[in-house]
Amino acid sequence: SVPAGLDESFARIGEPHAILEATTKRYPGTGANIVAVELVREMLRAHGLAPRRIARIDLTLPSERENFTAGHHRAPFRPWWAASSVLFQVAIVILDGGRTDFARYERPNAPEIDALIDRMHVSFEPDHGFQFARVRVATTDGAVHEGEAERYRFPPIDAAREIADAGRELVPAPQLARAAELIAGLESVDDVATLMEALRP
């Protein structure tokens, strides 16, 4: 149950609450790269940009990132260090048609990744937040696609589907559905043992 006076306590803190603006990364690396990666992912969905069609990619990042060299590092990469590089992250998203193939983090110096990174150019611009990115993609047929944003907010995760996918080999489907229902209304669950029972194989 909700403690008495909780709403009044929140009211004294003021708004907006920073936690409501928080986002979680859905792939390895620094959160500073999220905007650039997701802008490229949106361009791929909208324009179907195959790697062979890309002539040049210009990435503009905030000037505060200029000294954060890991964030725009070029090959050769050490395994998993590549995850910090926006160039690497953008390249693998393009190579896999908008998906993030986690196996690529184990092979960061693959020739196809290097070839795409060679077409990328980074510049820096003042007066932006740390996650800002502007992306300009020029294609071999002369088209140009551009996007920019200060922040990116991921769409909500379908928690019931995530629970069903993660637990399907361990717990029967009806129990997983019950667990998802309990988690969705967790503030109304009086005894956590009810939830634990739903997750028991």
Tell whether 140 and 57 lie within a shared domain: yes
Considering the domain architecture, whether residues 59 and 85 belong to the same structural domain is answered as yes
Q: Are residues 129 and 42 in the same domain?
A: yes
CA distance 132 to 173: 42
Residue 101 within a domain = yes
SS (HEC) of the chain? CCCCCHHHHHHHHCCCCHHHHCCCCCCCCCHHHHHHHHHHHHHHHHHCCCHHHEEEEEEEEEHHHCCCHHHHCCCCCCCCHHHHCHHHHHHHHHHCCCCCCHHHHHCCCCHHHHHHHCCEEEEEECCCCCCCEEEEEEECCCCEEEEEECCCCCCCCCHHHHHHHHHCCCCCHHHHHHHHHHHHCHHHCCCHHHHHHHCCC
37 and 132 inside one domain: yes
Same domain, 109 and 165: no
At 174 the pLDDT is: 93
Same domain for 118 and 189: no
For residue 22, tell me if it sits in a domain.
Answer: no
Is residue 23 a part of any domain in this protein?
A: no
- Report yes or no on 26 lying in a domain: no
Residue 14 lies in a domain: no
Q: What percent of the chain has pLDDT over 70?
A: 94
Q: Which two tokens stand for residue 125?
A: 């611009």
Same domain, 64 and 93: yes
Q: Please, which pLDDT band fits residue 26 given cuts at 50, 70 and 90?
A: confident
Q: Tell me whether residue 178 is in a domain.
A: yes
Domain span at 128: 31-149
Report, as an integer, the average pLDDT of 88-109.
Answer: 94
Q: Above 90 in pLDDT, residue 13?
A: no
* Residue finishing a domain among 149, 172, 192: 149
Average pLDDT, the chain: 91
Of the candidates 144, 96, 104, 136, the residue with the CA atom closest to the CA atom of residue 120: 136
Query: How many domains is the chain partitioned into structurally?
Result: 2
Q: Which two tokens stand for residue 62?
A: 């905030």
Q: Which of 149, 166, 183 is the last residue of a domain?
A: 149
The residues, ordered by sequence, that sit 6+ positions from 106 with a Cβ below 8 Å of its Cβ are 79
> Do 132 and 37 share a domain, yes or no?
yes
For residue 55, what are the CA distances in angstroms to 45, 52, 129, 131, 200? 18, 8, 28, 25, 53
Residue 94: pLDDT band with limits 50, 70, 90: very high
User: Are residue 140 and residue 171 in the same domain, yes or no?
Assistant: no
For position 29, what pLDDT does the model report? 87
User: Which residue did the predictor score with more confidence, 17 or 120?
Assistant: 120
Are 142 and 179 members of one domain? no
Residues 106 and 177 in one domain: no
83 and 170, same structural domain? no
Q: What is the CATH number for 53?
A: 3.30.1330.120
In this structure, is residue 131 part of a structural domain?
Answer: yes
Q: Are 40 and 103 in contact (CB under 8 A)?
A: no
Asked, for residue 8, whether it belongs to a domain, the answer is no
